[in-house]
Structure 1
Amino acid sequence: MFAQDYRVEHIGVEKGLSQGSPYHMLKDSRGFMWFGTQDGLNRYDGHSFRVYKPDPNNPYTLHGVNIAGIVEDRRGNIWLGTEEGLNCYERSTEHFTLIVDKKHAGIKKRTAPFYADQDELWYIREGEGMLAYHFKTKTHRVIAPEVFITQDFDYIDWTTRTPAGDVWMVGDKGVVRYNIKEKKYHYYFSQSPKNELGTPLNIICLYVDAKNTVWLGSLNGVIRIDNTYTTFQFFDNSAEGQPIGAVYSIAEGINQKLWIGTQRNGFWILNPAKLTLQPLSLPLVTPRKLDNYEITRIYVDNRGIVWANVDPDGLLKVIPNASVLRKITDSPDSPDERRLDNFSVRCFAQSPDGNVWVGTEGSLNVYQPKNRTIIKRYLTKAAMPTIPSLNFIKSLLRDSHNRMWLGTYGGIMYFDPKVEKFTLFQFDKNPSRNNYTRNITELSDSLFLLGTPQGPWIFNVQKATFSRPPMLKNRNVFSVFQSKDSTIWVSSYFDGLYGYRYRNNQWKQVYYGMKYFNINVIREDTIRRKLWVGTEKGLLELNP
């Protein structure tokens, strides 16, 4: 469905997940997703899983199987809790170590880590309270004796430390805020005689946003506690009066809207700015409809991808604002204005009016993001049946004068927006050879460098003439690019990467490397001053 804004994928045990209830999730600094289930720890690289479980014959394996809490420290090590205690996965050795307090050696108790800084790891432990483990001294200290952790097999920990200096926990009834500086407990919706707000309620989950507003999931909807902790507001229905029911998980998306997971009522979106609550419709990819699941955990990673536990059938991966073009091509029944006529997309460029030009192997499509439609098509087979090479588009360039240029199998083309016509320029007049223009980069306001199978060519825009630069003649050039420092980068077929400086009509080679690589694309990270180089062996970062 074209109006759909989400790409959805179901990931279950059939794809390698060790068990269908991943209650704890983390994306680490290396880009791996970690999932803690009731039957082991899972590391996911986007394609396959690596599962970690105990092995009685190997002391360096995981201790315990029911994961509660996953945290990464500043050194990249992964800390997790199980029914046996606190585990540390040391990334450099790939060994697990059970971290034992000497005072309680040999005693197995459920443990859940929730925070790490440069010096300490904070965790809660059944019967002992909230503790901190010091990395250097390898000692444990009690921060607060009263915590709320159960022996339930389905235990899900929501303990959160905030930048404001509080630790929030879900209690037997209500929630508890522990102020670290004051060493004082504050109770909300609790049965405690010290309760400060609301009547006793069963709270299932909590989330504290960047404004220190607290969002609670209850059996009958979402509760918002303001950042002064003195007032609250209930959200239990949509604008149309549809009840949300029991709320099992809350997480914030990259657009600051809250994702809400429910008990057998699917996903909902809460807009904190407008204070509105609406159900979310997603494509059916799970074994059962979403209103058959308890969505017990939602995690949003740094790219905005939403990972949710659809208990007991594993994971749902939701990509908001997914590629529109993929959605267009996925639906052959879509109307023409929402469909590419050729799915081999070779290049993109944004025109001055904000539209996106899409070059394919059969036409040029002008896509309007606002209305999500193809508003123009050029160089189609119907329009150019006798010159098919001109509608095989390999590159697009919007130059410094906002003019649009195309590199095609038949040469370089200029588009005149006033009359909507193309002008063709060819560097080789020999009819036995083509004018395949693979890449275009702008050297100055009047000179372009072209990458072709016959080597690089210079195109003088003002004079409409071509000339050969004094290098790489007849080499099959795959990519040309000019970085911010004016270095001109050229790659040829399995012949490495060349760097040149062009000044006063003189070329000077300043770099050569990556021999035996086939380099297809070169782009620059202008902030870090690195080059990204796409090759047949993968993506490389180059510090020239």
Structure 2
Amino acid sequence: MCQPARSETQKSAIQLTINDGMSQSTVNDILQADDGRMWFATGDGLSLYDGESFQYVYRAQPDAPGLANNYTFALAQDTNGLIWVGTLGGGITVFDQQVNPVASLRAASGLFASDEVFDLAPGPDGTMWIAHGRGVTQLRLDDGTFTQPSGAQPANIDTDYIRSLVVSADGGVYIGTGSAGLYHFDPASGQLTHWDDSNSALTGLTVLDVLIDTDGLVWIATEDAGLHRLTPDTGVIDQPLAIPDDDVEALAQGQDGRLWIGTWSNGIFVYDPATGVMENYRSRRGVRQRISSDTIVALTPGNLGRMWIGTYDNGVSSVSQSPDLFETYYPQDSGVIWALADAGRSGLWIGGKDGLLRLNRNLQNLAIVDLDKDLGPGPHDVRAILSEPSGVIIAVRDHGLQRRKAGQLTWSRMTAPDGSPVAGDAFIRLLLRAADGTLWIGTHTGVFHVGADGTQLAHYVEGDGPRDLPHNRTRSLYQGPDDTIWIGTSGGLSRWNADTGDFTTVSGLDVLPDNDVRAVWQGAPGDPLYVGTQGGIVLLDSDYGPHPADRPGEWSAERDDLQDAAG
């Protein structure tokens, strides 16, 4: 048995909810029409989406053509390109691709026994199979007229309520019932085969969806016993996949052959039969870049490689069936991330406005690091992280520098030999461990230079002297390949002379596109210095003037008008 995904798999999604124009939050079925538009069967009519805007179809006036009930539940396209819509309480309405009603049918016609339509399955012969509240019916539509084809119809089913249908290439019909397991009906012979808990391993008797995969295997989604598989050649049912949710609502197979499994409480599981790998996609409260809900009731592969996902309580989402180009994690409510640092063994420390996290990329697990125990109740605004073999240092607003030694789980304030806090009560933004072992600390009140033991060596602040900075707010700290220390501030760029302790400062719009210096980088000693500012990027040569690669009066990047999130 394949084990489930060990943890949630990060997956980017696009949501369409009532805030985006969906007519209702419950999306029971999804179909992509020939013109590419998405049809969504909702609890309040049809919502049609063309990629930019919605069109709605609601219940028609009495005796007028169109929907007889707004609670649409099932969608299917027949071999003539007509789109059949099943409703709960209003029977069937058929539309053409331009959304014009072609025909409607109610139980009062005598052609089928219930206006509660739960599923629709097109047959290869142009007919449509209807799962409804009183059984299964095969219908044909020609020139706007419904007929019931001659030949055998399923009979002797132990329950009236039929929940799901699928038709195989040879015309056989698998019938998922509301309380009696699974049937297979052969229209050619009239033979009816039954599986339930009395004669098979099918312990779930409410079958919500049935899928025939490209290998001919039949997958059975049950409401009360998870996912099962039927091998038609042997008639044997088993449970090859361990899904941690007994309520499996929807099934689909993507164009890449993977099996998509929608559950009521645990989002989507995606199983690759070629590799045996299982992934799990979940929603996250307040994050629109993830699937909109973990309660999945419909799955439909799109024509362009996306999987469309209908939920019970929050509209539709779509995700790419291909791997995302980037792994995307949404760790905290605010989503504001200030700092990243290596945590070893494929791990990453993440500092943000709401605290500290640790990512294990091998397990794709993102864990909150408990700072409350040592620092008191949060939230804790983690602005900078320095990861070293001896441990990790974090800068927490209003709590200064906190250190956790390697092999320990407790955090303690980083202090000098005399017991005083390193950098005092400063608002710390940046940390840099220099090659000589000293620590540079960038704050809103200048830069602290601290010895390896925590002794303060200097505190550089704004001023006009040779050892002063052009601005107190520190924006970047960088040690170049020749060990030069560069300090970017909101007033320009300063280079520190280790021999004298003096600074050489570059500022002014004749050299920099903006004095707010956010990043500095140099490839090798003597190479141009790349300086990132709030107004763009500039290259400086060894004399700290514009590099020849930058033509006079022009910068190497257009202005990007970045906002100062810190104020």
Q: Which of the five TM-score ranges fits, normalised by the shorter chain?
A: 0.5 to 0.7
Task: Write the deviation string for residues 170-212 of structure 1: whole angstroms up to 9, x where unpaired.
Answer: 1223211112322211112255xxx466556443332210111
Which residue identity is paired with 2:94?
C
Match of 1:258 in 2: 259
Match of 1:9 in 2: 14
Which one of 169, 173, 176 corresponds to residue 170 of structure 1? Answer: 176
Q: How does 1:410-449 map onto structure 2 within 5 Å?
A: none
Match of 2:209 in 1: 205
Check 1:381–1:162 CA distance in 2 against 1; reply closer, same or farther (3 A cut). Answer: farther
Whether 1:24 and 2:33 are equivalent positions in the alignment is no
Check 1:4–1:387 CA distance in 2 against 1; reply closer, same or farther (3 A cut). Answer: farther
Check 1:292–1:254 CA distance in 2 against 1; reply closer, same or farther (3 A cut). Answer: closer
Cα pair 1:265 1:291 within 8 Å, conserved:
no
Cα pair 2:30 2:310 within 8 Å, conserved:
no
Match of 2:238 in 1: 233
* TM-score normalised by structure 2 residue count: 0.51
Check 1:4–1:253 CA distance in 2 against 1; reply closer, same or farther (3 A cut). Answer: same
Aligned to 2:149, what secondary structure does the other structure show?
Answer: strand
1:92 Cα deviation after fit: 5.1
Cα pair 1:69 1:113 within 8 Å, conserved:
yes
Match of 2:549 in 1: 385
Cα pair 2:256 2:321 within 8 Å, conserved:
no
Check 1:201–1:110 CA distance in 2 against 1; reply closer, same or farther (3 A cut). Answer: closer
Cα pair 1:8 1:318 within 8 Å, conserved:
yes
Which residue identity is paired with 1:50?
Q
Cα pair 2:14 2:318 within 8 Å, conserved:
yes
- Partners of 2:166 and 2:127 lie apart in 1 by 15
Q: How does 1:187-336 map onto structure 2 within 5 Å?
A: 187-190=194-197, 195=199, 198=202, 201-218=205-222, 219-235=224-240, 237=242, 243-280=244-281, 293-321=294-322, 324=325
Check 1:7–1:291 CA distance in 2 against 1; reply closer, same or farther (3 A cut). Answer: closer
Aligned to 1:272, what secondary structure does the other structure show?
Answer: coil
- Partners of 2:553 and 2:259 lie apart in 1 by 50
Match of 2:41 in 1: 36
Which residue identity is paired with 1:176?
Y
Root mean square deviation of aligned Cα? 4.3
Check 1:392–1:290 CA distance in 2 against 1; reply closer, same or farther (3 A cut). Answer: closer
Match of 1:90 in 2: 96
Whether 1:141 and 2:149 are equivalent positions in the alignment is yes
1:27 Cα deviation after fit: 0.8
Which of the pair has more CA radius of gyration? 2
Check 1:222–1:113 CA distance in 2 against 1; reply closer, same or farther (3 A cut). Answer: closer
Check 1:19–1:388 CA distance in 2 against 1; reply closer, same or farther (3 A cut). Answer: farther
Which residue identity is paired with 2:47?
N
Task: Write the deviation string for residues 455-510 of structure 1: whole angstroms up to 9, x where unpaired.
Answer: xxxxxxxxxxxxxxxxxxxxxxxxxxxxxxxxxxxxxxxxxxxxxxxxxxxxxxxx
Cα pair 1:5 1:321 within 8 Å, conserved:
no
Cα pair 1:125 1:131 within 8 Å, conserved:
no
1:303 Cα deviation after fit: 2.0
- Structure 2, unpaired ranges of 5+: 1-7, 330-334, 342-527, 531-536, 540-546, 558-567
Cα pair 1:223 1:235 within 8 Å, conserved:
yes
- Partners of 2:106 and 2:86 lie apart in 1 by 12
Aligned to 1:317, what secondary structure does the other structure show?
Answer: strand
Which residue identity is paired with 1:158?
S
Of the two structures, which has the highest relative contact order with CA contacts closer than 8 Å and spacing of 6 or more? 2
Which one of 73, 76, 79 corresponds to residue 81 of structure 2? Answer: 76
Task: Write the deviation string for residues 122-167 of structure 1: whole angstroms up to 9, x where unpaired.
Answer: 324443632221425742236424368877xxx9x43111114321
Check 1:323–1:28 CA distance in 2 against 1; reply closer, same or farther (3 A cut). Answer: same
User: Which range is displaced more, 169-178 or 228-237?
Assistant: 228-237
Cα pair 1:10 1:286 within 8 Å, conserved:
no
1:278 Cα deviation after fit: 4.2
Check 1:229–1:282 CA distance in 2 against 1; reply closer, same or farther (3 A cut). Answer: farther
Check 1:74–1:131 CA distance in 2 against 1; reply closer, same or farther (3 A cut). Answer: closer
* TM-score normalised by structure 1 residue count: 0.53
Cα pair 1:305 1:318 within 8 Å, conserved:
yes
User: Which range is displaced more, 227-236 or 243-252?
Assistant: 227-236
Which residue identity is paired with 2:184?
R
1:269 Cα deviation after fit: 1.9
Cα pair 1:381 1:388 within 8 Å, conserved:
no
Cα pair 1:164 1:212 within 8 Å, conserved:
no
Which residue identity is paired with 1:84?
G
Which residue identity is paired with 1:186?
T
Task: Write the deviation string for residues 393-444 of structure 1: whole angstroms up to 9, x where unpaired.
Answer: 9xxxxxxxxxxxxxxxxxxxxxxxxxxxxxxxxxxxxxxxxxxxxxxxxxxx
Match of 2:391 in 1: none
Aligned to 1:23, what secondary structure does the other structure show?
Answer: strand
Q: How does 1:442-461 map onto structure 2 within 5 Å?
A: none
Match of 1:436 in 2: none
Task: Write the deviation string for residues 202-249 of structure 1: whole angstroms up to 9, x where unpaired.
Answer: 4333221011111122334322222424333324547xxxx3443222
- Partners of 1:164 and 1:389 lie apart in 2 by 74
- Structure 1, unpaired ranges of 5+: 337-377, 394-544
Cα pair 2:306 2:318 within 8 Å, conserved:
yes
Aligned to 1:63, what secondary structure does the other structure show?
Answer: coil
Check 1:5–1:60 CA distance in 2 against 1; reply closer, same or farther (3 A cut). Answer: same
Match of 1:529 in 2: none
Cα pair 2:550 2:556 within 8 Å, conserved:
no
1:50 Cα deviation after fit: 1.2
Check 1:307–1:93 CA distance in 2 against 1; reply closer, same or farther (3 A cut). Answer: closer
Which residue identity is paired with 1:115?
P
- Partners of 1:332 and 1:200 lie apart in 2 by 45
Q: How does 1:38-53 map onto structure 2 within 5 Å?
A: 38-53=43-58
Q: What is the percentage of aligned positions where both structures have the same residue?
A: 18
Cα pair 2:247 2:263 within 8 Å, conserved:
yes
Aligned to 2:19, what secondary structure does the other structure show?
Answer: helix
